[in-house]
Amino acid sequence: MRQGAEVFYKCRFQTAPALELADPLWRIVVLVRTWLCGRHATMSADDDVWRTRVRDGGQCSSDSGDVRIRSVMCENEEGGGFSWACRVEEIDEGDNDPVTGGRFAGRTWTTEIGYRESGDDRRGEMGILVSCYNEPRFIGRVKSPGIPIVPDLVYLITGAADLRCGVAGIPADRLVFEIGGTNPEHSASKFWSLVTAADRTYPIVYVGTDWTGWLALDPDELNRAIFPNALICNPADADAERRLMVTQPAAVRCEWHGVSVFPPTGKPIVRENGFDGDAIESIRDNDREQGVSHTLWGEDTPDPVIVMIRRALAEDVSFYEGGGLITVEKLGRELAERASRRKVAETRMRLDAALADAKESQVTLNRLRREREERRSGGEADADGDDLVTSLTGEVTRLEREVDDALDLAGKAEDARLAVATELADARRELSDLSRQLGDYRRGDGPQAAAHTEALLTYDLPAMLSASTKRENAAVDATLVAFFARRYEDRIHVVAGALKGCITRPALLWQGMLCMCTAVYGIYARGNGSGNAEDRLKQDPSVPARFELAMSEGPNTNRNPRLVKLRQVSYEGRTVDITPHLKVGRGADSMDTLRIYYGWDAVDNRLVIGHIGTHLLNDTSLNGRF
């Protein structure tokens, strides 16, 4: 969840998919697609997009850019199964505000979906968290918070019959029931056994009758606000309520003429676990007279007691063993750690294989030598037999060839072992040298850093930064970019030809490259770009206010294969998308505008800069609308 966002809703439940359901995760993804496409007309419903970019992990967005989706798939290393996380961001730019004549603050609704599936029975654990984030540093009015309801997505998923969703073994459609009647599962004793169970992981809300004989709350209305986070029970009639009173355990407190909440077993005991009918009416009267709910929501205002229970129960929604909702960032870190561990393991395997080959060859060599000596001893004892001598001579020759082959094999194995050991030693030395060089660069020490810095820090530097012609700008810009590429070579890589056509003033380019190597790099290096990069750059006090990040292009540009290809560069054999760009200035290219197009390479943890200076051709410039 984004820092500073407000939690609107969260829930946790389990799935026990039907045997005929081949791919439960794809079923969930289809339901997410149904939910989103029903809310946003420009969201693609293409199966291939949702399979390859959402189910299998990746990114996609709506044509209008008001929806962004990112997901990560992480297979379990042991025992089968997998974990999957998906983040959906719905961006509201802010409607017109009739009071101020401007607009309301923009708002981003973020839905985090976490899913973990076991490898054996395909049972799943699912968590959903919805949060709201208002546009930062906006001077103006903010829209009223949303009415506390259960998101439609939750009903879509829990209502899918083939997913068979539930809470701790209770089907999702049976979380509201009456105590009493003929069903033994709804008896008073059964209710108290649930309340006192030592392993209960979900809350129970008991809704009793008030002094007039009516239920203190509408159980169905309460369920529509807290579903599926609690089991809601109420007496079927007066006889059922009397049986509950008679069988009540001595250690359990219950408000008979009101509402009682029993938190999950093991949770800290609260001072009040409910209210009687008089207290409930007082809460409602106070809200009508002094509360702000009616001002915010009008006739749709929910019962304030239900809002209070919803807030309290949200604290009992804990996600999975080990804590925390499965998120895109967590799975991304897990995959990066696995890749690092795998690389170390592969190097160790190569070394172990070389050592094993050497040992096996040595054993073979010793055995052959021993057999040769035994045969030679036997040959000397039977030297009088010519036939035997001839036979043994041939055998000795054969064995000597085998010994030579074994020696060659042992030598090759030893060479392989030494090669791996040398490679590891070289890698360690290279890492040490690079670390030392990096420290030198940071401090300005070392012959290379000093030479490179001295080439720039001359008496001509002020004149260089104040160059005022396009020809002068191009030459000085090349010097500055080369300086930053060497100075921060562990953070950025500048693709050959990236400066083609650059006419930006050197002073502005200096600021832009410094911003890329520090603030922009920091956004990606901490959590691989977690959160909203545009907002994070705006919130950095060290960055001049005129610098902005743009993470995407318009829908017409994205649909043009030629323009998309311009935003792809090759780096270390990998294709990097350089659509994101740092920008200063608007309109046509000039000496006072700057664009730096880049992409993040998660393998080397570097910013790959593919174009510096002017706009890359887009739909607007292609059609001459600048």
Note whether 405 and 468 are same-domain residues: no
pLDDT per residue as tens digits for the range 521-543: 988 886 544 457 888 888 888 88
Last residue of a domain, one of 245, 277, 312: 312
In a domain, 359, yes or no: yes
In a domain, 481, yes or no: yes
The percent of residues above 70 in pLDDT, for the chain, comes to 78
Q: How far apart are CA 536 and CA 543, in angstroms?
A: 11
Query: What average pLDDT score do residues 469-474 get?
Result: 82
Closest CA to 108 of 88, 129, 122: 88
Closest CA to 129 of 7, 5, 228: 7
- Domain holding 268: CATH number? 3.40.30
8 Å CB contact between 192 and 248:
yes
Terminal-residue alpha carbon distance, the chain: 38
pTM score: 0.57
The percent of residues above 90 in pLDDT, for the chain, comes to 33
Q: pLDDT tier at 493 (50, 70, 90 boundaries)?
A: very high
Higher pLDDT, 102 or 50: 50
- Which of 101-115, 248-262, 405-419 shows the lowest mean pLDDT across its residues? 405-419
Instruction: Tell me the average pLDDT of the chain.
Output: 81
Note whether 236 and 97 are same-domain residues: no
Last residue of a domain, one of 107, 141, 165: 165
Question: How much is the pLDDT for 161?
Answer: 95
In a domain, 319, yes or no: no
pLDDT per residue as tens digits for the range 147-203: 888 999 999 999 999 999 999 999 999 999 899 877 788 889 899 999 999 888 889
Note whether 271 and 127 are same-domain residues: no
pLDDT per residue as tens digits for the range 52-108: 999 999 999 999 889 999 999 998 877 678 999 999 999 998 888 888 888 988 899
Note whether 261 and 337 are same-domain residues: no
Query: What average pLDDT score do residues 459-485 get?
Result: 78
Note whether 512 and 547 are same-domain residues: yes
Given the structure tokens 């060859």, which residue do they identify? 361
Question: How much is the pLDDT for 516?
Answer: 93
CA 160, 162, 165, 170 dihedral sign is positive
Number of C-alpha atoms within 13 angstroms, CB side, residue 354?
A: 17
In a domain, 322, yes or no: no
- Coil, helix or strand for 372? helix
Q: How far apart are CA 177 and CA 181, in angstroms?
A: 11
Note whether 189 and 235 are same-domain residues: yes
**How many separate domains does the chain show?**
4
Note whether 153 and 185 are same-domain residues: no
In a domain, 563, yes or no: yes
Whether 32 has a pLDDT exceeding 50, the answer reads: yes
Print the domain residue range for 576.
447-622
Question: How much is the pLDDT for 528?
Answer: 45
In a domain, 36, yes or no: yes
Query: What average pLDDT score do residues 483-491 get?
Result: 88
Last residue of a domain, one of 133, 165, 197: 165
Please state the three-class secondary structure of 175-188 as a single string.
CEEEECCCCHHHCH
Question: In b/e form, how buried is each residue of 260-290, taking b as 16+ CB within 10 angstroms?
Answer: bbbbbeeeeeeeebbbbbebbbebeeebeee
Note whether 147 and 228 are same-domain residues: no
In a domain, 10, yes or no: yes
Question: How much is the pLDDT for 381?
Answer: 45
Whether 626 has a pLDDT exceeding 60, the answer reads: no
8 Å CB contact between 441 and 449:
yes
Q: pLDDT tier at 321 (50, 70, 90 boundaries)?
A: very low
Given the structure tokens 């355990």, which residue do they identify? 249
Note whether 514 and 390 are same-domain residues: no
Q: How far apart are CA 550 and CA 616, in angstroms?
A: 13
- Coil, helix or strand for 68? strand
Query: DSSP string spanning 423-470?
Result: HHHHHHHHHHHHHHHHHHHHHT-SHHHHHHHHHHSSTTHHHHHT--SH
Question: How much is the pLDDT for 416?
Answer: 63
Q: pLDDT tier at 475 (50, 70, 90 boundaries)?
A: confident
Question: How much is the pLDDT for 625?
Answer: 47
Question: How much is the pLDDT for 270?
Answer: 56
- Which of 8-17, 38-47, 87-96, 468-477 shows the lowest mean pLDDT across its residues? 468-477
Q: How far apart are CA 495 and CA 611, in angstroms?
A: 8
CA 70 centroid distance within chain: 8
Note whether 484 and 567 are same-domain residues: yes
Note whether 368 and 468 are same-domain residues: no
In a domain, 1, yes or no: no
pLDDT per residue as tens digits for the range 437-453: 555 544 444 444 445 55
Question: How much is the pLDDT for 152?
Answer: 94
Whether 428 has a pLDDT exceeding 80, the answer reads: no
Note whether 517 and 598 are same-domain residues: yes
